[in-house]
């Protein structure tokens, strides 16, 4: 592993809960690793397997998908549909040999700035331990 | 020809002829003899004279449900996407269905790809279909010139050899682990019900791979797909794949590159399997048509296993039950969540 290597983690955050939580963490001046690159999406149900795999293909060392807690979805049940898809997707990509910890999911409410900082710390520690991603990256 | 299958063939021909002659259906989807031994090709009979070419044997390996949505559409008057649906009854189509094929027809009905009242299903129990590759490996790849089946045997012969192989030894793996041999929907029965197979473990290969380490699984996966030439035969033959534009053909964004780079091939196989999550009926068409012999069915089997474990359902068994990924439970498991 390169000395001083820092992972790049793509974070897909939902517009209604997790993105405001990131905002709150910033406003509250909570410290968290600067490894994440945030992409704001309307809902966690917007995240398809295509997007997650594209991130990995394009060189992301890790992916974090975060949405509202079950029951709190702005669109009533988007995250509940997403939960089923994520459960199956995570199992499938780990089945074919992507390391557990590369792709992560979480629920963070808009008021949970502290939890957001904690999740980013956890995820970035997980990805750091795995080292740079070498599976799925497309060599151009 | 085996007595059981020739009886089924007779019944299919009789019923299809009757339906076509009385113009109850405009076409019948079944199988005809292929040009090579041990092959049956999908065949669409459009008039009563065609019917005599229909057959049913142990070599009908392609799922005929894949032809239903485009065939039904071809009988509709042309219209623009914004036009209202045509009024009045539309022509019907008949189809032969075994256990897995009928489940796929039911899934297409549930997903609003076809109208149930426009399909007349001729159902039969299925004893399993033959994997040609298994036969070829038994006879060391010699060229088969003649093949015929008895009830429990396959007899193959060619230059300098003649062999009788028990049917059970050369059935496809998905047929050997099949516990739904009888049609779930049918309008007419053309064959007897088949007793359900006693299967201890429906997913032996999945379990074996799950027990390996992450690195070993990656190595296995890369090795498995390394021969993929991306002909997309597995997609084209799949009765679940009816999207007007497949994700592999999207150009902006381009999810899957056109290269043979292993990451593109990996993404193709992961997504192809994932799009079948909670819908696959284990019919084995994808695996059978693969020219490179890639065992991609293990990915959909893994998803089927997880869907059973997590949500306790399987697709295409109950027309009232929604497909697993089109619904949710308030207490679905979420142990995998961080934090």
Mean pLDDT of B28-40: 93
What pLDDT is attached to residue A1?
Answer: 56
A96 contacts chain B (CB < 8 A): yes
Note the pLDDT of residue B188.
94
Contact (CB<8Å) A54/B333: no
In 3D, which of B97, B276, B240 has the Cα closest to residue B181? Answer: B97
pLDDT, one tens digit per residue, over A46-71 is 999 999 999 999 999 999 999 999 99
Residue B1 has pLDDT above 90, yes or no: no
pLDDT digits (tens, 9 = 90+) for B304-320: 999 999 999 999 999 89
Q: Tens of pLDDT along A76-119?
A: 999 999 999 999 999 999 999 999 999 999 999 999 999 999 99
pLDDT value at residue A67:
95
Assess contact for B96 and B190: CB atoms under 8 A: yes
A:B CB pairs within 8 Å: 123
Angle at the Cα of B51 from the Cα atoms of B48 and B57, rounded to 5 degrees = 165
**Torsions phi, psi for B123 (to 5 deg):** -100, 145
Tokens 């449900």, located at residue: B65
DSSP H helical ranges for chain B: 3-21, 68-74, 99-110, 132-138, 173-176, 204-210, 214-225, 233-236, 262-275, 285-289, 297-311
Give the whole-number percent of chain B exceeding pLDDT 90: 79
**B43-90 confidence digits (pLDDT tens):** 999 999 999 999 999 999 999 999 999 999 999 888 888 988 888 889
Model pLDDT, residue B160: 87
Query: Can you tell me the distance from the alpha carbon of A87 to that of A95, in angstroms, rounded to the nearest whole number?
Result: 12
Q: Which pLDDT score, from 0 to 100, does residue A2 have?
A: 64
CB contact under 8 A, A96 and B299: yes
pLDDT tens by residue, B249-294: 999 889 998 888 899 999 999 999 999 999 999 999 999 999 999 9
**Closest CB from B214, B219, B255 relative to A99:** B214
Residue B49, judged by CB atoms within 10 A of its CB (0-12, 13-18, 19+), counts as exposed
B257 touches chain A (CB under 8 A): yes
- Which pLDDT belongs to residue B3? 84
Closest CA to B204 of B297, B116, B289, B283: B297
Q: Is there a contact between A139 and B209 if contact means CB atoms under 8 Å apart?
A: no
Which residues of chain A have a CB within 8 Å of the CB of B261?
138-139
Which residue in this structure is represented by tokens 């990996």?
Answer: B266
Q: How many CA atoms lie within 13 A of B8 on its CB side?
A: 26
Question: What are the phi and psi torsion angles at B334 (to 5°)?
Answer: -140, 40
Residues B30-38, mean pLDDT to the nearest whole number: 92
Distance from CA of A16 to the nearest CA of B (A): 19
Q: Do the Cβ atoms of B135 and B144 come closer than 8 Å? A: yes
The average pLDDT across A26-52 equals 95
Helix (H) or strand (E) holding A85: helix A78-95
Q: Label residue B211 exposed, middle or buried (CB < 10 Å: 0-12, 13-18, 19+).
A: exposed
Interface predicted TM-score (ipTM) of this complex, two decimals: 0.94
Q: For chain B, what percent of residues have pLDDT higher than 70?
A: 100
For residue A97, give the nearest of B217, B247, B328 by CB distance. B217
How far B214 CA sits from the closest chain A CA (Å)?
A: 5
Question: Does pLDDT of B209 surpass 70?
Answer: yes
Query: What's the rounded mean pLDDT across residues A9-14?
Result: 96
Candidates B308, B311, B235; CA nearest to B275 is: B235
């Amino acid at each position: 592993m390169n000395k001083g290597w820092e992972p790049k983690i793509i974070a897909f955050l939902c517009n209604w809960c997790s993105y405001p939580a990131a905002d709150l963490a910033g406003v509250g001046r909570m410290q968290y690793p600067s490894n994440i690159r945030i992409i704001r999406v309307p809902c966690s149900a917007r995240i398809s397997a295509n997007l997650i795999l594209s991130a990995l293909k394009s060189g992301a060392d890790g992916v974090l998908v975060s949405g509202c807690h079950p029951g709190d979805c702005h669109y009533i049940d988007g995250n509940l549909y997403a939960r089923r898809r994520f459960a199956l997707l995570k199992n499938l990509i780990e089945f074919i040999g992507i390391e557990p910890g590369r792709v992560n999911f979480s629920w963070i409410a808009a008021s949970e700035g502290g939890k957001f900082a904690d999740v980013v710390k956890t995820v970035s520690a997980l990805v750091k331990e795995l080292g740079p991603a070498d599976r799925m990256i497309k060599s151009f | 020809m085996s007595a059981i299958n020739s009886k089924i063939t007779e019944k299919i021909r009789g019923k299809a002829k009757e339906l076509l002659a009385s113009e109850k259906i405009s076409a019948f989807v079944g199988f005809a003899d292929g040009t090579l031994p041990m092959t049956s090709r999908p065949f669409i009979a459009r008039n009563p004279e065609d019917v005599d070419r229909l057959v049913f044997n142990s070599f009908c390996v392609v799922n005929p449900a894949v032809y239903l949505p485009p065939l039904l559409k071809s009988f509709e008057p042309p219209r623009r996407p914004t036009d209202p649906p045509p009024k009045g009854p539309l022509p019907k189509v008949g189809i032969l269905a075994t256990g897995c094929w009928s489940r796929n027809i039911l899934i297409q009905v549930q997903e609003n790809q076809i109208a149930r009242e426009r399909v007349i299903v001729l159902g039969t129990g299925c004893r399993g279909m033959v994997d040609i590759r298994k036969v070829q490996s038994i006879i060391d790849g010699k060229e088969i010139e003649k093949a015929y089946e008895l009830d429990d045997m396959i007899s193959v012969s060619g230059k300098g050899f003649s062999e009788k192989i028990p049917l059970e030894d050369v059935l496809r793996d998905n047929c050997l682990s099949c516990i739904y041999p009888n049609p779930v929907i049918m309008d007419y029965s053309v064959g007897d019900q088949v007793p359900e197979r006693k299967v201890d473990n429906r997913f032996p290969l999945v379990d074996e791979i799950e027990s390996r380490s992450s690195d070993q699984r990656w190595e296995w996966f890369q090795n498995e797909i390394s021969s993929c030439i991306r002909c997309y035969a597995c997609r084209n033959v799949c009765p679940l794949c009816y999207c007007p534009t497949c994700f592999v053909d999207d150009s902006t964004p381009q999810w899957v590159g056109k290269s043979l780079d292993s990451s593109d091939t990996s993404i193709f196989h992961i997504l192809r399997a994932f799009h079948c999550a909670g819908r696959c009926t284990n019919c084995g068409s994808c695996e059978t048509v693969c020219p490179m012999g890639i065992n991609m069915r293990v990915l959909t089997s893994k998803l089927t296993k997880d869907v059973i474990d997590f949500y306790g359902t399987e697709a295409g068994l109950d027309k009232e039950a929604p497909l697993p990924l089109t619904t949710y439970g308030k207490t679905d498991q979420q142990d995998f969540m961080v934090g």
